[in-house]
Every structure is written in structure tokens, then in C-alpha cells.
Chain A
């Protein structure tokens, strides 16, 4: 009776591992040919071993992981859908959404890695954040969307978009949020060139005219999405 632990079976398995580690597609024929070359065993014995491995599902049929198959995993498909519908979501947001389903951060990162590898999503870095975007999304648009996902950023930009240039003090008054938070947001928006500043001490801020069209679109989309929700 053939046994998985027998020396010859282990040798054939080592050949199979070798083929896989070389990133070659393993097939029964390739395994047989390689085993004939590398293992000292009779033709019949090798065939019997390969049959044994197939029959006992030690060698299993499967498909190479392709772009289509990557999404056959339900969790991964959900994550992809989340990134598509929540454009510009940062990792922690995705993780929070994923927490309800089964799976750890490690699993989530694995799924994201495969989505990245197979070009379903791309990532951009902003400061300490990693932002995930659908592949078809422009990176700059992605970054803007990321900013507008933050409620306070969204309010600042909306305000500037509807009222034109505003003094920082007016912003502090108009927005119901701690001053330092608003100050930090404005600083970041200035750094990323989404808004520009005027005057001495950069006291007045306004939306960068180059970005105004895209920003208006994004804000409009956000509004619509918010309205639907």
C-alpha cells in the first residue's frame, strides 16, 4: 500500500514543490517528466505515485489565480465594491467597514494586496495615510475625494466654493469646530494646493482656480451621495 510518508512519494512531492517554487505551472505530465529526470524510480512506480497523489487529492486541480478569479473571493469582492463606492477611502476606514465581516486586519491586507497586484485598485500615500482608489480614478482626484470625505474639510471647501475667498477668522466663526482643527485642515489644504491664500500672513483663503472645476464636481457628487443616503 502506498504511503504519503514513503521516501519515493516524498521525493516526487519535492519535485512538485521545486516546479511550483520556480513559478512553473505544475501538471501531471510535467511532474512525471521531471520526476523521471530527478528521482531514481521506475516509470511504473512514478506513474503510480502521481496517480496516488491525484487520487488522494494531494495534488489538486485548480486554476492559476487570474484577474477574474481574484474577485471570486466574496470578502475580496466586497472590499473592492467598498473601494469603488467609497472612493478615496483610507485604510482605517476600510478596516472599520470590514470589521463587521469575518476576518482580521491581516486578512484584509492580504485581500488589498491581491486587489493591488491584479490592478483592481491603486494606492496613494498622504502623510500617514494610505488611500485606496479604484484603478480608473485619477490620483489627484483621489486625493481631493479623500479630503472631501472628511466632514470638516468638506465644510471648509463647500464654504469657500459657495462664498468665494474668506478670511480665516470668518471660517472659524462659520464652522462649528475647534479652531485648532480648522487651522490644521486649512494648513493641509494649502499644502496640497487645493486652496490658496491671499494677503499678508495668508489671512484670506480661497479655492485654487485650477482645481475649482474638479472640486465642484466632487462636492456635487458628495452632495448627491449624501442626499441619496
Chain B
């Protein structure tokens, strides 16, 4: 058997290595509990890895059988890509895009194993194998479809990405552009100049490396979901809030929601109005409620989601198990439940925080931490004894954006403090 260490076969092996390392690093680092979409992403990535590996082996050993199987992996990867992308974007696995893919897939697999599907060529002076005839047409349809679909997915991720991951999503998009645009151009040129397939592979290696590194750095990139989680509130059955986590400070104007949350909080423990998972729809979103024997949990999101229901159920199960002791003792000290934050991170880590995106309104430091110059603080304390009023004045100093306001106030105070009704009488004497 001839071993054909050509640049094309080597570049294919490098590509398969990049994909397999990306796969290992990403999923070792990041594995949200039981998300089916993660499985599809894994399978898509694995399909890509197999494709390049088989292509590499085919050219290395000049054995068409590898290239015939690589066509099958293209079909596989396309299906997995559509399932994964469609689920993250639309939270649904079914889409009309699957129809032509599923229709063409068996044809591709059939034609791949027909005589004449693969033929020998010289690429840049090295022997190689190329797809031929209808097999070539179909594989290119699948390859270009995958490239296009992948790019659209990443552009949508980029568009929806919150500030927290915006920078990473820009790099992600850049990597995708490097991996796809030159690949498409070089693959088209390849029809006339055969060694361009190597250039296409090199561009793909660079782009894919960028993508793998950035996904490894920020796995949330793959889960820019089509909805915004706002907050999760954990209560015991008596309605005491044990823990709260906020993803988005959206203002809820719907009074029904406020009333409902109030009712939820003060509902007697015997009321079992939401045992299991329930959804309550409001103008501004959906409240997914889960009630167990010990806790009531409300997850408020912009859109109903099966994925969230599942995650909430699993989260509640673990929360109950982890905090069974304080829960059964009816301990309402929120400090006892601080570790719930880590549990939220574990179960809902796919949601990037959107708090930073909501930068339209100015921010101020709360009275807990806002400090004014010590001398001013002392003077204000002498003038305003009431702590609440003092806090309010400090807050207004912060919000006024008027540097001279405190000194003007002190001047006015000096002017007015001794003015009394009696002073007029004194004057009149």
C-alpha cells in the first residue's frame, strides 16, 4: 500500500485533530446537565471530525472507500447541525429545512457507493481523490449548505449575544467567516485550479482553530437562546423568599404579575395550586412555576420553554436534596441558601447575563456603598439628623450631577438657619 503524505491529506488530518480537540476540550469543560441540544452539537462536531479523518485516510492510502464514507458523514453532520442550530434559535427540532436534507441524504449515500463516484486526480502535483459526477454535485450541495447554515447560525448568535459574551461572539463570527468564506471561494476555484483545495483546507484550519478556542473560552456562545430569562425566585411553602437570582433587570409593568408574585408569596402552605410545573402567562413573559413538598420556585422568562421546564424541575430536585435540612427545619435565613447560587450556575449557566445590556438608564451606587467626602458627610449629619432623610439627600446629590450642589446647600443653610419670626419683631423695635 502506497502512503501518500500529500499536503491535502495532512491538512485533512490537522482539521480532524482540531475538531476532535475542540470536541474534547469543550465538552470536558462544559457539560450542562442533560441538554439534548448539546448531544446534537457533539454529533455535528463529531461528524465533521469523521469527515476530515476519512478524507485524510482516503488520500493517504488512495483508497476511495474512505471518501465514499465521508459523504455519509456530510449528510449526518448536516442533519445534526440543523437540529442543533434550529433548537438553539427556535427551540424546536422540527423544521422544513430537514425535508430536502432527509430526501437527498439517502441518495447521497447510495450514489457514494456507485462506481465512478470517486476518481484520482493530481492536486498541486500530489495524487489525490476527488468526488465525481452526481456524487460531487450532492456533496457540494451538502457542504455549501452546511457552511451557509453554520454561518447564518453564528451571525444570529452574534446578533442576539448579550454584552457579557459580545466580544467573544465577535471573535466567534470572525472565526466562522475565516472558516467559511475563503473555503467556499477556494472550493469554487478548485474546479479550475486543483491545488486550491489545500488553500481551502488551510483557511478552514485557521477558522476552525479560532472557533474551537473561543468556544472553549466561552461555551455559552452555543447557547444564545431565543428567550431571555429574567429571574428565578425560590421560596419555601410559607412564601418566604430563600434565594433569588436575576439575569435581567427588566421592568415589569404588568400589575397582574406583581399581584401574582405577591399571592404566590403569601399563599398558605396548604394551597397546592402549582404542584409540579405550571406556566402562567403575562403580557411581559411567562412565569414557570414549580412546586414541591418543600419549595415553590418561580422562573420568569420572556418566552415559554420546554427546556426551561426540564431544567427547573431538575434544579428543584437537587435544591431540595441539597438543602433538605434547613428546608425541613423551616429555616428562612437566606444565608443558609447562599450556595443555591452555585446550583443556579450549574443548571442555568447556559444563560448569559443580560444585566449589562440594559445600560440605557443611568446607574447609581446604592446608599450602602455610596460615599461622599467625609467633611461633607459630617456637616450633613449635623444638619440632618434623620438617617433616612440623610440617605435621601446623599442619593439626590449623586443623581443631580451638579458638582456645586452640596456647597450651595451649605451656604443656603447658613443663610437660613437663624431666620425666625422673632427676628422681624426685633428689627421693628
Contact = CB atoms under 8 A, between A and B. Distances in A.
Nearest to B402: A117
Given A90-B419, A104-B384, A106-B384, A54 B355 contact: yes
Contacts of A13: 365, 369
Interface stretch (A61-69, A162-170, A203-211, A218-226): A61-69
Contacts of A93: 421
Interface in A41-88: 43, 47, 50-51, 54-55, 57-65
Interface stretch (B5-13, B133-141, B385-393): B385-393
Given A31-B363, A92-B419, A65 B353 contact: no
Q: How large is the interface on A (under 10, 10 to 19, 20 to 34, 35 or more residues)?
A: 35 or more
B306 interface: no
A103 B389 CA distance: 8
Given A58-B365, A65-B400, A105-B417, A27 B359 contact: yes
B11 to A, nearest CB: 33
A28 B363 contact: yes
Nearest to B429: A180
B363 A109 contact: no
Interface in B9-58: none
B115 interface: no
Interface stretch (B76-84, B123-131, B404-412): B404-412
Given A31-B363, A91-B416, A117-B400, A107 B356 contact: no
Nearest to B389: A107
A63 B361 contact: yes
Contact of B413 (A109, A150, A184): A109
B363 A26 contact: yes
B163 interface: yes
Q: Find the residue from A31, A63, A109 having the highest chain B CB count within 10 A.
A: A109
A181 interface: yes
Given A1-B341, A106-B383, A117 B399 contact: no
Nearest to A150: B424
Interface in A148-169: 150
Interface residues of B, number: 56
Contacts of A143: none
Given A59-B364, A62-B399, A64-B362, A130 B419 contact: yes
B420 interface: yes
B363 A59 contact: yes
A41 to B, nearest CB: 15
B202 to A, nearest CB: 30
Contacts of B355: 28, 50-51, 54-55
Contact of B409 (A29, A57, A113): A113
A201 B404 CA distance: 50
B428 A91 contact: no
A217 interface: no
Contacts of A65: 396, 399-401
Contacts of A6: none
Nearest to B342: A1
Nearest to A43: B167
A93 B424 CA distance: 11
A204 to B, nearest CB: 22
B346 interface: no
Interface in A174-203: 180-181, 184-185
A54 B361 contact: no
Contact of A59 (B164, B366, B399): B366
A144 interface: no
A127 B429 CA distance: 14
B371 interface: yes
B417 A181 contact: no
A50 to B, nearest CB: 6
B314 interface: no
B419 A128 contact: yes
The 6 A-B pairs of least Cβ separation, nearest first, read A106-B383, A106-B384, A27-B359, A28-B356, A65-B399, A54-B355
17 contacts: A1-B338, A13-B365, A17-B370, A26-B364, A29-B356, A51-B356, A57-B366, A59-B366, A63-B361, A91-B419, A106-B380, A106-B413, A109-B409, A112-B412, A113-B412, A117-B400, A129-B423
Interface of A: 1, 4, 13, 16-17, 20, 23, 25-32, 43, 47, 50-51, 54-55, 57-65, 90-93, 96, 103-107, 109-110, 112-114, 116-117, 127-130, 150, 180-181, 184-185
Given A1-B339, A29-B163, A184-B427, 7 more contacts: A1-B342, A13-B369, A55-B355, A61-B249, A62-B364, A127-B427, A129-B423
